[in-house]
Amino acid sequence: MAYKIKTELRDVGAQVKVQVREHTFLADEPVRLKGTDAGPNPVEYFLSALGSCLSITAADIAKHHPEIKLKKFETEINGRVRRFSDKTSKIDQITIKFNLDSSLEKKREDAFIKSVIKYCTVHSSLNADIEIKYLFPEGEP
């Protein structure tokens, strides 16, 4: 499966229009960072993608295992951004707190969460060597 996302920088604060299939949404920065706070910032979307993927993976695993009755599956994700002296930054720590209500006893619940982590595409991509190709406009280096 391949994904195609289109982004367009708008001339309003730090707004970016994002197009994903038929979905359009905004990314922005808070006002204190010269944005208009019209939407989550890219790091918040990144962490949201992780939580969403974990949740969808949990639902998928439970759907294929009738013995797992999943009444609630929630994540609370905290990300810490480290800023460097050269003005670059990166997320250097992510903490994921799971909160679920299921038919499983504690030991099996922990195994279920470990399976969710293992099969979550976004989580698996965090530690993977991902090849990124950059295509510059013609005439650019």
pLDDT of 141 reads 55
CA angle 128, 98, 89 (to 5 degrees): 45
pLDDT at 140: 54
pLDDT for the residue 132: 75
Q: How far apart are the C-alpha atoms of 19 and 5, rounded to whole Å?
A: 6
pTM to 2 decimal places: 0.89
How many CA atoms lie less than 13 Å away from 73 in the CB half-sphere?
Answer: 23
What averages of pLDDT result for each successive group of 10 residues across the chain (141 residues)?
95 96 97 96 96 97 94 94 94 93 92 95 85 72 55
Q: CA quadruple 122, 86, 95, 44: dihedral positive or negative? A: negative
| Residue (of 54, 90, 95) closest to 78 by Cα position | 95
> Could you give the CA distance from residue 21 to residue 62 in angstroms, rounded to a whole number?
27
Per-residue model confidence (pLDDT) at position 131: 78
Kindly state the tokens that stand for 25: 């949404």
Sign of CA dihedral 84, 90, 93, 99: positive
pLDDT digits (tens, 9 = 90+) for 30-66: 999 999 999 999 999 999 999 999 999 999 999 999 9
Q: Which residue intervals of the chain are DSSP H helices?
A: 42-63, 106-119, 121-126
The whole-angstrom separation of Cα 28 and Cα 61 is: 34
Q: What pLDDT does residue 138 have?
A: 75
User: Strand runs (DSSP E) across the chain, as ranges?
Assistant: 5-9, 16-20, 23-27, 70-83, 89-102
